[in-house]
């Protein structure tokens, strides 16, 4: 088996304007770093195709999808707030981001790869059923989770969100669903303001949301303890058939968007800990999807740390 890598220069056609942190250069920085890595030639390269609407409609309201297309193609500069900057190509690129995410799932479930990373944009975990938010248009990871269930028969999906922001859209997609366990550790207070520890699911989904708010200034020691004491035991109990990762790298100490102080190496350590769970319960299956991370050098180095672990486990 091997490690899959979803990459396409078309993702850079989603233009967010001068000064916006979620900019195309994020992907070129990641790709340069991975191309220079000794394992690059071993990666299973996946060229995405745009998703059709059916998988997206499992998470987003059809009326929202239509509105996104109409507003973007009419030339609007923002969707729903000034955070979500768009250009005329953004709708098509958002479909491509979903398509790349689903292609990664297909590669892993078919056995073409054991694990992998989708370097897609725009990111997704803030997008709600009926609104864009926080740089996100369609919720790539939530759509992927439901796709794995509907198309590959997966019964238990775990989503681990280590982005520095809480994934409000992902939580709201599954908070009533015991078949998808959403785990997030995130700085609080910070945008979007959701994700308190008391938010642990609703109805049948009670107990299948785990929020771990982290204080500003938290670093490697605090995050390592959160994984050891809370996340890993929860995953051991849930026994996921696949682990999906909202792989944001904006908790890095060099990233000015937050006050969390993670070192570069911690992203490899996170990955290694999750691989241990995946090896036991998920046949090693892990799919990571790019979310945040805005300091270009720190982003590239952190992704490289994650990928080194995935490649070593995928062999």
Can you give the residue ranges of every domain in the chain? 3-314
- For 175-205, the DSSP string reads TT-TTEEEEEEEESS-TT----TT----GGG
pTM: 0.97
Burial 217-234 (b: 16+ CB within 10 A, else e): ebeeebbeebbeeebeeb
**Nearest CA to 226 among 218, 238, 217?**
218
Q: pLDDT by residue for the chain (315 residues), tens digit each? A: 799 999 999 999 999 999 999 999 999 999 999 999 999 999 999 999 999 999 999 999 999 999 999 999 999 999 999 999 999 999 999 999 999 999 999 999 999 999 999 999 999 999 999 999 999 999 999 999 999 999 999 999 999 999 999 999 999 999 999 999 999 999 999 999 999 999 999 999 999 999 999 999 999 999 999 999 999 999 999 999 999 999 999 999 999 999 999 999 999 999 999 999 999 999 999 999 999 999 999 999 999 999 999 999 977
Q: Name the catalytic one among 60, 126, 165, 252.
A: 126
Can 126 be counted among the known catalytic residues? yes
Cα–Cα distance measured from residue 241 to residue 72, given in angstroms and rounded to the nearest whole number: 37
* CATH code at 3-314: 3.40.800.20
């Amino acid at each position: 088996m091997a490690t899959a890598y979803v990459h396409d220069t078309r993702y850079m056609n989603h233009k967010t304007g001068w000064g916006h942190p979620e900019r195309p250069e994020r992907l070129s920085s990641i790709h340069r770093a991975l191309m220079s890595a000794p394992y690059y030639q071993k990666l299973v390269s996946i060229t995405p195709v745009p998703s059709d609407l059916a998988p997206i409609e499992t998470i987003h309201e059809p009326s929202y999808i239509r509105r996104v297309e109409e507003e973007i193609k009419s030339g609007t500069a923002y969707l729903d707030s000034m955070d979500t900057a768009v250009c005329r190509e953004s709708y098509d690129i958002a479909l491509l981001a979903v398509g790349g995410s689903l292609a990664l799932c297909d590669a892993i479930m078919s056995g073409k790869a054991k694990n992998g990373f989708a370097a897609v944009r725009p990111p997704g975990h803030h997008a709600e059923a009926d609104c864009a938010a926080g740089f996100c248009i369609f919720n790539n990871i939530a759509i992927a989770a439901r796709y794995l269930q509907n198309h590959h028969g997966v019964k238990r999906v775990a989503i681990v969100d280590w982005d520095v922001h809480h994934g409000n859209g992902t939580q709201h997609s599954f908070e009533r669903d015991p078949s998808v366990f959403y785990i997030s550790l995130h700085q609080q207070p910070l945008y979007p303001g959701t994700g308190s520890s008391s938010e642990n699911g609703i109805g049948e989904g009670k107990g299948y949301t785990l929020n771990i708010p982290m204080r500003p200034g938290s670093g490697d020691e605090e995050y390592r303890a959160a994984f050891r004491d809370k996340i890993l035991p929860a995953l051991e109990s849930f026994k996921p058939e696949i682990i999906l990762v909202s792989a944001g790298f904006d908790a890095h100490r060099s990233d000015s968007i937050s006050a969390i102080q993670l070192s570069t190496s911690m992203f490899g350590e996170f990955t290694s800990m999750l691989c241990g769970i995946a090896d036991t319960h998920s046949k090693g299956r892990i799919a990571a999807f790019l979310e945040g991370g805005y300091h270009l050098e720190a982003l590239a180095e952190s992704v490289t740390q994650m990928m080194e672990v995935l490649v070593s486990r995928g062999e």
